[in-house]
Structure 1
């Protein structure tokens, strides 16, 4: 039936209409598609043509599934994915591979395309939450909750749940907007402008389950229809990449021509809420414009507070909504001294095409360990980076504005509620963290150097370096470090005064256990907990104990030897699905070799042997906790044993040594079986042949008193995934000048592409040459657990 209808309509000899430069045969315009109201196909097409400016942004770059009623809504309908042969060639297609077949979906990105949908009686247009990016399915750009009322439930009940959803999203740093679906329920959307702590579908499911727990008589998160009677089903599954949702402004195939209508939250709060017909939606659009563009346009608030022509501030028409230059150019920041009613400093970071902004009453901190209140304000346009002048006193923000400092910045972590970045300005430089404490209040913290760390994780409190008794474990302790020595140094260690342990080829981590939960932190203070979910069992395994543990996160090869190469597959992952796949293939273990705190008592002043005794006793009560045994004999025998077992080396510890956080002294000594060196990447040479699309070698350096000293280049040891990651990351760090302190020889700098030295890696090599270069280097991998400031000559 559907194809026959297509053929009749498209082959009609009626005069063609030109829309957007495309000729369409719009036939049978008097055909009634909604018998109850007498609404014709011509009226449907006119609606789609007029609503197109508001509707197209929510269809563009999204494959469209159509629900068609060729003979009107009182007859049968059918779903259509594949673009039929009758659709003109100017309608772009996008192929999606399903389990059983590949489907070429149409992409509706023009008024002509919308009119064509009306001609085909495709009344409902359903789209995914992801968009097509560079010819491939991209990530989800929005989150959606479909609030579906069960039998006996009113739209008002859905509105109550929608308001609760909004509260959860706001708490997660996400702005949301409601759409009455045109059918029975309400859709709540949120733009994904920040990184979630899990996949969108899982994130939405968590909120849905919490709502069902809070309101068991009103809400269900269960898909079974038998559970929906008398309740609102919070459908979180719409965020699955395979699912689609009716697009905002789309008509619905109901008895009346209702449409999915964007609403204001004030409407949702009112009684008498109802679904809107397409003519009502169109009238609202004519008088008030597109509510969604106001919700999604992050500069809407900025413009609403200012009057064009009455202030010298930049006044753009609309923000770029995430289409800024973040991925191509250096990101910028600006600090403006604002002499308003109360003197303050406005701090702004370029992100997603706008300047995310905070007012800092006491100014950006310049000394490590200083915390300052920062109140988030409305996003500002990018042009505000260069603004200085006097805002009239009768205008919003009236007073003199002067640029205090500006420059570029490198984002290190951009997550909901926590931002970490490095500023490169003329007056303000270094790493900073912005931590959301409540609503629009943030804590601005200058991150301490390697010997002063850590970063606070929230709540406005400084992490303490506690060495006395506590009821709760101290947070943010940095581990104690060992000094590298040659093998013959072991001969100088007095017999009976030292203990020896294996040196494990992994990531140093401090584990904090409290209330049955484990949090893992790298030596630089980064939270590693979500990256290694397969270690979460340690928290409940320790039961009611509160402890701080020092150890190494490792992966083991087939011979139960720690493998740094395998661990590379676990490092730097952010997406939950990728983390779970890596955890299954490369399971992690936490080798615990010291304990700093247990059940209200700090152990850091205790002797090493006493701490080990406590740790061994704790391990005996915690099944599965790995505490590697100490090695027997003297240093030489211990080193021989490590070589026989294929370990990285050994660590010697004085039996009477206390635990000294963040310090590197003589009481802990490490000896390696293979020479390694942490390095900074200062440039690269493009690849050739099989590597023509990536890189050929990396140009390496190590900081010294004169700057970044060049130590050679490495071109071996890369996996395919490592090459892909490095190529993508290095392009974002490119610069015009060499970062090395001395000029390289012509043969060394040939074809070089320079980069800002922010990437920390590790190489293995045989020896140093007389010229201070590494001989026969091999790439071991990136070290995201290390900060550039920590890199020094071994």
Structure 2
């Protein structure tokens, strides 16, 4: 059993949920808050991972042990590769009923924000001490042998002991120079072979999102700081999925907005060689629309209407992108064409 100064293992009449109850008002939060008394006894084989959109996005790993859920907050999620260890902060024990909890914890309450169940299943214990916990998880999204080991105070690390969950997965690139459009005076004649987008006249920005965190590079592939209020919320919206987005920061209805028009890497798979049409449909499926970011619209085969709309809205022009074109980092060619509105 994990020993903690504030919430020790049950010895005699020790109440393992006292700290949990002290942080929650049962009249204000929808979370389960059991009354005083003996804790229920299970089979010590249930685990749950909850995605917690609190002040900062994190994932809560909870393992049933001795009638409670022993819990760790994992800021970057459960690692899928043994080469990467993630911080896991040991928190107070939770009641067994929490394994099925999902919902909105009200503002002003401890842990305020949205809680969803990211994965759950059963586990086997290989070792359990106050400094090291080895388990085998059997879930839908996460399975395999993991060890949690204490480093300092309540800080632990979580390490995957098995080979990578997806041996073919590739990490996001450190940086990428974006593909550029060639300037042309007229729309292409074979419009059915192209998808058309608005040219927004903004600043090019690539967003690398992983573990709910976001970093940015500019039009030259150089690391830059993201606009205030964009990186964190965008990372929380994407969640655990690693993704590389291409877009531009432009003024939309008087508000600086990140307009996303391409996805270059998703779930461990580079998409550079995929045709533009397939990448755009993958981007649409992500549903990335928020207060400071939007998936930019695109219109297959309808360049004249898009150009007319750009003129009406006072936009600089349109982009024509071949539906079958791959993404060529740093290149400029006729696969992408920029046509001025006037």
TM-score w.r.t. structure 1 length?
0.20
TM-score w.r.t. structure 2 length?
0.45
Higher helix share: 1
Q: Relative contact order (alpha carbons < 8 A, sep ≥ 6): 1 or 2 greater?
A: 2
The structure with more radius of gyration: 1
